[in-house]
């Protein structure tokens, strides 16, 4: 990977980190398509390394034990969903597109229902399913935020950022472990991920300014918009693959 590619990737990661640092998720949605064009090796390993750093910074900013309580059940569902996504991705590659389409269309339907007044409740069983769907979509399609973010669409900015930062920290760690187990995380990916860390920090710093504007009554709009776009990207990727 050339120095020019790494510099371009840093700009992309900085922008994605700014988005996620302000809204709570959406960094991968923005960054992954551009990083794939720059160098396919940047996805998913280096992106997840940057994601862990960003989540740690957000956890420090939006502190509080109640955030862990908010995502306890989604985290329980995260592991089986991630394992299922990795297993399907490896063993049944011809079926991944269909499953991704199913989950993406489900999320898109939930976005439409939310726009017309439906708000999924944060009950243990529903949160578990949301975490499982997020784990599966994150591993199989690289877009795992929307299934869980929809549960927090009526939360305040600090609440959604604090909760999802903890969820994505665990999610990224699981993804990296699975990538290593499947032989898709090596020295090249580790070096590229470390190179992206300064840009991640810069994006997080910039997100403070954007977060104050998102918090002024626009959290729900941002969540629904990013969730809808994520679903359309996943559907498009499945169709074109």
Give the tens place of pLDDT for each residue, 128-147: 998 998 888 777 666 777 78
Domain count, the chain: 1
Q: Which domain holds residue 138?
A: 3-240
Asked if 226 and 38 touch (Cβ cutoff 8 Å), the reply is no
The model's pLDDT over 207-238, given as tens digits with 9 standing for 90+, comes to 988 888 777 667 778 887 887 887 777 777 66
Provide the pLDDT for residue 58: 95
The model's pTM is: 0.81
Q: Which long-range contacts (CB under 8 A, 24 or more apart) does 117-120 make?
A: 119/153, 119/154, 120/150, 120/151
DSSP 8-class letter at 119? -
Asked if 151 and 130 touch (Cβ cutoff 8 Å), the reply is yes
* Cis peptide upstream of residue 64 (ω within 30 degrees of 0): no
Q: Single out the residue of 51, 31, 29, 48 nearest to residue 39, CA to CA.
A: 31
Provide the pLDDT for residue 147: 82
The model's pLDDT over 158-200, given as tens digits with 9 standing for 90+, comes to 888 999 999 999 988 988 888 888 787 889 889 999 999 999 9
The model's pLDDT over 87-116, given as tens digits with 9 standing for 90+, comes to 776 766 555 566 667 666 766 776 776 677
Distance CA 82, CA 125 (A): 18
Confidence of residue 33 (pLDDT cuts 50, 70, 90): confident
With tokens 């991920």, the residue in question is 193
Provide the pLDDT for residue 111: 72
Q: What is the mean pLDDT of residues 48-60?
A: 94
């Amino acid at each position: 990977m050339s120095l020019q590619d790494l510099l371009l990737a840093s700009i992309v990661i900085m922008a994605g980190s700014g988005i996620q640092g302000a809204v709570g998720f959406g960094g991968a949605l923005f960054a992954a398509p551009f990083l794939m064009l720059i160098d396919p090796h940047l996805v998913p390993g280096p992106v997840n390394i940057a994601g862990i750093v960003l989540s740690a910074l957000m956890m420090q900013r939006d502190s509080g034990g109640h955030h862990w309580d908010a995502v306890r059940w989604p985290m329980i569902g995260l592991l089986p969903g991630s394992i299922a996504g990795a297993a399907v991705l490896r063993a049944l590659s011809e079926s991944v597109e269909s499953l991704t389409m199913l989950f993406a269309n489900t999320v898109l339907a939930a976005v439409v229902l939310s726009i017309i007044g439906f708000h999924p409740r944060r009950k243990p069983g529903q949160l578990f399913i949301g975490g499982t769907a997020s784990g599966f979509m994150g591993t199989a399609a690289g877009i795992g935020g929307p299934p869980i973010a929809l549960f927090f669409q009526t939360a305040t900015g600090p609440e959604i950022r604090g909760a999802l930062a903890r969820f994505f920290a665990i999610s990224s760690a699981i993804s990296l472990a699975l990538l290593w187990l499947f032989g898709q995380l090596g020295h090249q990916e580790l070096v590229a991920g470390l190179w992206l860390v300064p840009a991640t920090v810069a994006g997080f710093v910039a997100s403070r300014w954007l977060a104050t504007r998102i918090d002024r009554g626009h959290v729900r709009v941002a969540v629904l918009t990013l969730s809808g776009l994520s679903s359309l990207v996943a559907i498009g990727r499945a169709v074109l693959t």
